[in-house]
Chain A
Amino acid sequence: MADTLLHIAACIALVSVMLAFIRLVKGPSTADRAVALDTMTIISISLIVFIAAVTKRLIYYDVAMVYALISFIGVVAVARYIERGL
């Protein structure tokens, strides 16, 4: 029961990654694409933690943490680039 619910949740998260990816492709401006990438990253962090919970390997939590850190720095760098150039 709990496993089934968990897998349904992971499928819904995967569909939302795809929706955010459509915005990443369509987005008219650079900032739209940066927002879509940020959203995709956060959903992916949830999916990585899901994989860590299913396979019972704690090392994936560190992977998720590093991924969050890199995504944050990347988005801030893109924002500075949009505002005043490189």
Chain B
Amino acid sequence: MELAGAVLTLAGSVFLFLGALGLLRMPDIYNRMQAGTKATTLGSILFLTGLALYQWGSGSVQKTAVLILFIVFTNPLSSHTLARASHAVGIPLTGRSAIDRLADSGKNT
């Protein structure tokens, strides 16, 4: 059980690293946001699950479950709010992006 938890934690840390790398390397803010939020959400879920498996039976499973649930609920919400706000103030997309349906629909003022 300990070894499985450690391997899961290592996989989660790799996802966290890739998310941070994407945050550093992506061309504009929307790409950065999806790298820095989605990959980090999956990475932290794996990391926390691995740590809960690592210390199985010490009463930490419930708290880990609450923490994972909280991250899953709030992380996309804050990212969405931030993306919407930055689109509303007119931060431009990168030159390679093909389509902007939110600007075409004219709903985001």
Contact = CB atoms under 8 A, between A and B. Distances in A.
Contacts, number: 174
Contact of B63 (A34, A65, A80): A65
A1 B3 CA distance: 7
A39 B40 contact: yes
Interface string A50-75: 10110010100110110011001001
B37 A38 contact: yes
Q: Interface residue tally of chain B, by bracket?
A: 35 or more
Interface residues of A, number: 49
Tell me the interface secondary structure of chain B in the complex.
Answer: helix
A68 B71 contact: yes
A43 B20 contact: yes
Interface of A: 1-3, 5-6, 8-10, 12-13, 15-17, 19-20, 22-23, 29, 31-32, 34-36, 38-39, 42-43, 45-46, 49-50, 52-53, 56, 58, 61-62, 64-65, 68-69, 72, 75-76, 78-80, 82-83
